Structure 1
Amino acid sequence: MKIKKTILTFYLGSFASKLAKCMGVIMIFETHAHYDDEAFNEDRSELIESLKDAGIGYVVNIGASLESSGASLKLAEKYPFFYAAVGVHPSETGELTEENFGRLREACKNQKVVAVGEIGLDYYWDTPEREIQKEWFLRQMELAKEVKLPAVIHSRDAAEDTLKMIQSSNLKSVGGIIHCFSYAKEMAKAYIDMGFYLGIGGVLTFKNAKKLKEVVEYAPIESLVLETDSPYLAPEPNRGKRNSSLNLTYVAQKIAEIKGLDYETVIAVTEQNARKVYRLN
């Protein structure tokens, strides 16, 4: 059965690649970036305006706080190929109140908002306290279901609690992306079975990324999307430098290498996946 599925995946991917080539529209879909970050203050406009010529077809700029959610929306309104996700990162949930939570709900009405995120749990920094993180993770998942938008999930050192909360909230009804996926194959299977996508970025190219490489080898290409988390987590050979969507070619090449697919297939299928999860078909 696994062999048949692999063969089917290959042929579907090849078909998508050939179709995209014929139409001349093979473009990379960047599903997770933070171009509002101060790291881009000096050359933000120039960099963003260069992306199209470099083959970047779409960018979703992700909110991590109330302020950055607003900034993401401004970028989406300024650039036709940009979209926004609005949400509050677990480490920033201490800023949320009943009053300002309404700002997120209102922002979700904008047509260029395609997701609620990034939301979730972060036990690495472990601040604010876990109960506060959990409370606002749940509230933001409920918001995603209310407005019928997918969620972009941040989970660091919180695998079990994140999965349990997603399952109990029935978030699979709207789906989403597990951003910067960093857990084992068993956890990947649980999310894929629920219809979630795994966000794969520069970490995949690191020499010590054995676990993530196993996940990418295991997961169907139809369950993967490309992301950078710019300006963070630049891939080899630019590790340690400021990241941007221009580096997604390295991630796609590594996926192609691991899965035995051609580069164009990876670009074409991951673009389709991103369009599907963000409802841009």
Structure 2
Amino acid sequence: MLIDTHTHLYDARYNDDRDAIIARAREAGVEQFVTIGCDLATSESAVALADRYPFVHASIGVHPHEVKHIQDGWYHEFRRLAKSNKVVAYGEIGLDYHYNHSSPKEQRERFREQIQLARELRLPVIIHTREAQDDTIAILKDERASEIGGVFHCFSGDARLAKDALDLGFYLSFSGILTFQNASALREIARTAPLDRVLIETDCPYLTPVPHRGKRNEPAFVTHVATQLAAIRSDEAGMSPEKVALATTRNAKRLFKIA
């Protein structure tokens, strides 16, 4: 059984067949899902979906692209949403200097605020970082994020970032990027990362894995991530997709405190 630890199930691209794509995932062996908030509205949608399905969990928070939109009262609303026992994490939060949809200065300020709120709520953090490695790690250290733990989602950084994240006690989550032809360096990181610190995800509807490139991603495709991770680590005794599924499911349940 598998857990897709990073989905956007509320996305409008699923409006016509959401129940069907969830059913396909369940048939493929995906037993639980975490659907991720990126601003207040999507956090509310994530919690509403989690309330609808017993096997769906939610995270709340504001993506670095969206922090420029934070208004008075948003953090109060996140505190309200966090009262739901279906909320298992705070995120995705972090820094993204590739697009700078929000200014780097505002990203850093809001990142600190949201780590502080996650610590108050005692929720692990889901980290998005792109071209911002040094600042991301520095802020996580400054704000003592290791006390609540978390995961670097859709990990696509280099070996130094992987080491920094693991040294903080964080998990690394691998997505369909592992199947991309040009991801040899990432596959090497996935090969050597401690198996008890690895999660898998789709980040659906984005980042569709091979062999479905060009199509809308969906949670059932997390099976391809598990299969690829097992193939990458095939030199380990007894490695199989089933072992990857068992390990990553156990890790997800430990991080997110889900049964």
- Into which bin does the TM-score normalised by the smaller protein fall? over 0.9
Could you tell me how far apart the structure 2 residues matched to 1:151 and 1:160 are? 18
Superposed CA deviations along residues 145-191 of structure 1, whole A, max 9, x for unmatched, are: 10111000111111111111111111000001101111111211111
How far is 1:88 from its partner?
0.6
For structure 1, which segment, 92-101 or 172-181, has the greater mean C-alpha deviation from structure 2 after superposition? 92-101
How far is 1:50 from its partner?
3.2
Aligned to 2:130: 156
Equivalent position SS for 1:31: strand
How far is 1:131 from its partner?
1.1
Could you tell me how far apart the structure 2 residues matched to 1:85 and 1:179 are? 13
Q: Is the 8 A contact 2:24 2:220 kept in 1?
A: no
TM-score w.r.t. the length of structure 2 is: 0.96
Could you tell me how far apart the structure 1 residues matched to 2:200 and 2:99 are? 25
Aligned to 1:23: none
Aligned to 1:183: 157
How far is 1:98 from its partner?
3.1
Look up the equivalent residue of 1:276 and give its one-letter code. R
Aligned to 2:242: 264
Q: Is the 8 A contact 1:57 1:81 kept in 2?
A: yes
Could you tell me how far apart the structure 1 residues matched to 2:114 and 2:72 are? 12
Q: Is the 8 A contact 1:201 1:228 kept in 2?
A: yes
Q: Is the 8 A contact 1:69 1:86 kept in 2?
A: yes
Look up the equivalent residue of 2:244 and give its one-letter code. V
How far is 1:114 from its partner?
0.1
Equivalent position SS for 2:26: helix
Aligned to 1:32: 6
Aligned to 1:6: none
Aligned to 2:64: 90
Aligned to 1:273: 251
Could you tell me how far apart the structure 2 residues matched to 1:264 and 1:152 are? 25
Could you tell me how far apart the structure 2 residues matched to 1:128 and 1:188 are? 25
Could you tell me how far apart the structure 1 residues matched to 2:89 and 2:74 are? 18
Aligned to 1:45: 19
Could you tell me how far apart the structure 2 residues matched to 1:128 and 1:51 are? 34
Could you tell me how far apart the structure 2 residues matched to 1:99 and 1:263 are? 45
Q: Is the 8 A contact 2:124 2:256 kept in 1?
A: yes
Equivalent position SS for 2:73: helix
TM-score w.r.t. the length of structure 1 is: 0.89
Aligned to 1:55: 29
Aligned to 1:81: 55
Aligned to 2:74: 100
From the CA coordinates, give the structure whose radius of gyration is larger. Answer: 1
Could you tell me how far apart the structure 1 residues matched to 2:226 and 2:188 are? 16
Could you tell me how far apart the structure 2 residues matched to 1:177 and 1:111 are? 20
Could you tell me how far apart the structure 2 residues matched to 1:184 and 1:111 are? 35
Q: Say whether 1:143 aligns with 2:117.
A: yes
Could you tell me how far apart the structure 2 residues matched to 1:168 and 1:132 are? 17
Equivalent position SS for 1:97: coil
More helix by share: 1
- Work out the number of aligned pairs and report it: 255
How far is 1:53 from its partner?
2.1
Paired residues for 1:9-20 under 5 Å: none
How far is 1:138 from its partner?
0.7
Equivalent position SS for 1:71: helix
Superposed CA deviations along residues 59-107 of structure 1, whole A, max 9, x for unmatched, are: 0000011110000001000000000000110101111123222111211
Can you give the 5+ residue segments of structure 1 that lack an aligned partner in the other structure? 1-26
Aligned to 1:19: none
Can you give the 5+ residue segments of structure 2 that lack an aligned partner in the other structure? none
